[in-house]
Each structure stands twice: as C-alpha cells, then as structure tokens.
Homo-oligomer: A and B are copies of this chain.
Amino acid sequence: MYTIGIDLGGTNIVAAVVDEKYNIIAKAKTPTAMPRSAEEIFDDIAKVSKQAMGDAGITIDDIESIGMGTPGTVNKEGVIEFANNLGFDHVPAEQMLKDRLGDKPVYIENDANCAALGEAYAGCGNGSKNFVAVTLGTGVGSGVIVDGKIVSGVNNAGGECGHMVIVVDGEPCTCGRKGCWEAYASATALINQTKRAMEEYPDSVMHELAQEEGKVSGRTAFDAMRRGDIAGIKVVDNYIKYVACGLINLVNALQPEIICVGGGICNEGETLLRPLRRYIESERYSVYSKIQTKVMKAELGNDAGIIGAAILGSVN
C-alpha cells in the first residue's frame, strides 16, 4: 500500500506517492499562485495528487491515507484555522480533500511539524522516536517528536520553539514578543547582524562580498570569516552562540535523542555544527551523562515535509 503526502506551501503545492519504506515513488508540483481562493488551491492539490498517482502507476484504491502539511494552525476537525500567507481563515481542508480525492483517512498538520516527523522517521533520525527538528530559515521553525508522535499541543500549535525568548526585552520578533530565539538565530537575523557589523566595520571584506553577490545574505559573514575578516568572525561567533543557546534550552527541557538542524544556513555544514556541538557539550545540564543528545544536519531538504505528511496516518 501507499500513502499520499502533500506539502501546501506559499510558493508551491507538491504531492507525492510514498511507499511503506518512506520512499517517494512519484512527485508532482504546481505553483500555489497566490492570491487564489481555497477552492482553486484545493482543486490544484487534487490535480497534482492524481498526477503523482498516475506517474506511480497506481490509483486511489492503492492509497491507505492522505497527509498534508500546511502553514498555520489546523484544528482537530481538520480545519485550517489561520494561515496568513495563504489567506486562509477556517478552511475545512480535510473535507475539501475528501471531496476531491475520495473517502480516505486524511491527516493535516502544521508543515514544520511534518518536516520534523519526516526527518525523524526517514531522514537523519533514522527512526528516532524522540527528536526535535529546527530549521534556520526566514524564521526559526521547529517540530518536536516525543514517543514517535508530533507534539502538536492542545490547539495544534505546538513546537513553536523559535518563539522562546532567549533575551528578555531583546530584539522585536514578528510574533509580538521581544527577544525570541527566531529574532537572533534565523537567517533573517543573521543578515541583520551582518548589516550592522558592516556599518561598524567599513573596511570589512563583507562589503566586497555583498557587492559581488548583489546582496547581503546568510553566507556573507561566513565567507568573510573564511577569509580571516575580523568583523565576519565576530558576526559568525555571535550568531552561533545564539543558535547554541536555543539548542541547549531544548536539550535541557526535552533531552531528545537527536536535534536535527536544517535550513539554508546549514549548508555551512560542520563550520556551523562543530562549534554548536562544543557549546552544547559544555553547557548542557546533564554534562556528566554518558548518553547525550546528538546534533545532526537535516538530510531530506524539502522532501522532509512531504514524507512527514505521508506518514501522519501511520503514526497517529
């Protein structure tokens, strides 16, 4: 038997047929093309799902369940209560999927939580049942897996670890709080930190690097650091310290087997992960325990969310 995993994003809609070993058998994609009505978007979700089934040489009869990851919050009745960047307000997603694809079990979850589930089962977690995934992107996304299940919380909005304050009265965050981890550890935050350092250090090589690239990016400070640039080194050291702070908070609170770090900044690989591990090793609460949380790089990229969505049915 197979399942369908759907990733409903602000930019693209992706659907895939996934087998029991978490392999993607076929995948189809179409632009979300916002702004559109929920009806139109769900018509396209059904279209790419059918296309993926066609490419896999199967029909809906071969499908055990359908899972979908979406931005925003989903309630227990399968209604997407709010999804800002889709313009969704109480969209009955579960019913709309059933109407278009047939009466199969449907599971809908927040996209960051789906990505965490995918990495836990099929990615760097390799079946880990106690797992936290953190994505350093535009924001800091995260998903928490305990005992093999997503911690979606009382209102399906769990796992918003990016919105844990690490600096009381610190930098303003998009969520309304001040000093959230996201305001220090996201790629957006790194870019702001880089820009500020560039103002302070007019001779830094970062000016040259930004000009070459056409913009200040999450790579600018890392590239400058590799050239021995003092300002670049300072920015990266500080940034890594902030990322580590939140990771250690999660280690102390949840002691997962694995924390998986993903997102664009993770392309830095060991340049990022090695110092993060050093911080965690020296600051974690259970510093003397033999078994410790491992910090790993996310493996599945965008497929994490699709695979996670596809297996929602089997872990629920």
Contact = CB atoms under 8 A, between A and B. Distances in A.
Interface in A137-170: 142, 144, 146-147, 149, 151-161, 163-168, 170
Interface centre among A147, A285, A292 (most CB of B within 10 A): A285
B154 A130 contact: yes
Given A160-B285, A166-B168, A248-B177, A153 B256 contact: yes
Given A147-B149, A166-B166, A154 B245 contact: no
B160 A253 contact: yes
Given A168-B241, A241-B168, A289 B155 contact: yes
Contacts of A161: 252-253
A234 to B, nearest CB: 15
Given A158-B255, A164-B252, A283 B146 contact: no
Interface string A274-291: 000000001101111111
A254 interface: yes
B291 A256 contact: no
A165 B248 contact: yes
A292 B253 CA distance: 21
A204 interface: no
Contacts of A184: 168
Copies in the complex: 2
Contacts of A164: 164, 249, 252-253
A254 B153 contact: yes
A73 interface: yes
A1 interface: no
B292 A154 contact: yes
A255 B150 CA distance: 12
A163 B252 contact: yes
A285 B164 CA distance: 10
A262 B268 CA distance: 44
Given A130-B153, A142-B253, A147-B147, 14 more contacts: A151-B255, A153-B293, A154-B293, A155-B286, A158-B254, A160-B286, A161-B253, A166-B167, A166-B168, A168-B242, A168-B245, A176-B287, A177-B248, A250-B253
> Lowest 8 A-B CB distances belong to which pairs?
A153-B255, A157-B286, A164-B249, A155-B289, A158-B255, A160-B252, A155-B291, A163-B252
19 contacts: A144-B254, A147-B147, A153-B255, A154-B255, A154-B256, A155-B255, A155-B289, A155-B290, A158-B254, A160-B286, A163-B252, A164-B249, A164-B253, A165-B248, A166-B166, A167-B168, A168-B242, A177-B248, A249-B249
